[in-house]
Structure 1
Amino acid sequence: MVKTAQLKIDYPETFPDALQQTREQFEQEAKWAMAVKLFEMKRLSSGMAAALVGTDRVSFLLNLHRYGVAMIDLTEEELLSDLENA
């Protein structure tokens, strides 16, 4: 069993209503946004980010487009190298 810690974030009670969401929806979206950003910054692997939001790795990767993040983020040099070695 993996030990867990908890992060508490204070936010105005009006935020969910302003976004036409329930409190639970807002908090889940905030968790997703944090996980996606940490993945995009290469601070978390896709598996670690998926665990943060409570989903599997494939589902996490398939939902990245909702946040404007590419599933595969290769530089032009890395892509050319991959093509040469294919």
Structure 2
Amino acid sequence: MRTTLTIELPMAGLPSPAEMSENFADEARFLLAVKLFEQGRISSGKASRLCEMGRVEFLLAASRSGVPVVDMQGDELENEFA
């Protein structure tokens, strides 16, 4: 069963129809997913499902967008590369 969420947005706050890409809804889903992932509110798996991508595809796209996809520091990072 697929449940959906509809978000009403004022058109005045969106790009003009001439500037809006054909796949604007896909872009909006990706941007929402990547922001929620960046904030740690959802996992990469949930984010990938939200924007209908594979998990690896999502992680690569998030990284290209400047979002860190690995949260390791200090000893964790050293152990990973040891």
Give the TM-score normalised by structure 1.
0.71
SS at structure 2 position matched to 1:30 = helix
Give 4+ residue runs of structure 1 displaced > 4 Å after superposition: none
Q: Who is 1:43 aligned against?
A: 41
Residue correspondences, number: 81
**Aligned partners of 1:74, 1:4: CA distance in 2, in Å?**
34
Residue identity opposite 2:71 in structure 1: D
What is the aligned-residue identity percentage?
40
Q: Deviations over 1:18-51 (max 9, x none)?
A: 78123x5222221111111111122222111111
Q: Superposition RMSD on alpha carbons, in Å?
A: 2.4
CA gap of 1:10–1:66, structure 2 versus 1, over 3 A, is: farther
Q: Which structure is higher in RCO with an 8 Å CA cutoff and minimum separation 6?
A: 2
**Aligned partners of 1:18, 1:78: CA distance in 2, in Å?**
47
Residue identity opposite 1:20 in structure 2: E
**Aligned partners of 1:29, 1:75: CA distance in 2, in Å?**
31
* Structure having the larger proportion of residues in helix: 1
CA gap of 1:18–1:74, structure 2 versus 1, over 3 A, is: farther
Gaps of 5+ in 2: none
**Aligned partners of 1:57, 1:19: CA distance in 2, in Å?**
32
